[in-house]
Structure 1
């Protein structure tokens, strides 16, 4: 099954865009693009952000747990059916999510 990806500047914008998309094609899942830069602590994440240019999609900079919270909010609020994580710079998103969050999800 295909889905449609949306880009938004914040969650309110994402909610509007998703509603528009669902009205046009309710059978297609809506996926929200999120630019991501995470690290084990928030200061390191913001330091790594450095001189990266502003993005064109919703951006999350912080910790793996905070990113998980954002994803949960997107689902809980019905904003999108899923998210597409777009790592910024050399952010080890997959590794940190598996190391930091997967053990807690298994219990």
Structure 2
């Protein structure tokens, strides 16, 4: 079976606790429907550079991660480990090269 975004329910939250609460509500209301958690992302090779690039960036109000590829991988693992969402939707901020940095930094480890 192939699951597409259209088959799931998108979840917007301000932090992981909010995401966990909202995910539980969604799962109760729509059993068996995949939950997709939106995460706004700005990563760089080091945290200082990521936060510097964040200056003046507006957001859409979703859960936000600013830091390194390894930290983002840890957040995604926490989302899965805690059963918050079945999938995450990464929404790059300020043109952050999320896919390129994730591949470069995590495959090299």
TM-score exceeds 0.5: yes
User: How far did residue 43 of structure 1 move?
Assistant: 0.3
Structure 2: how far apart are the matches of 1:33 and 1:69?
16
1:28 aligns with 2:29: no
> TM-score, normalising length from structure 1?
0.93
Give ranges in structure 1 of 5+ residues lacking alignment.
Answer: none
Structure 2: how far apart are the matches of 1:97 and 1:87?
12
Q: Determine which of 84, 87, 98 is the counterpart of 2:92.
A: 87
Give ranges in structure 2 of 5+ residues lacking alignment.
Answer: none
* Residue in 1 that maps onto 2:13: 8
- Aligned pairs, how many? 104
Runs ≥4 residues deviating over 4 A: none
1:56-83: CA deviation from partner (whole Å, max 9, x where unpaired)? 1000000000000000000001111110
Structure 1: how far apart are the matches of 2:68 and 2:22?
26
User: How far did residue 103 of structure 1 move?
Assistant: 3.9
* Residue in 2 that maps onto 1:42: 47
User: How far did residue 84 of structure 1 move?
Assistant: 0.3
Structure 2: how far apart are the matches of 1:46 and 1:11?
20
Q: Secondary structure at the match of 1:14?
A: helix
> TM-score, normalising length from structure 2?
0.91
- Residue pairs, 1:91-106, within 5 angstroms: 91-104=96-109
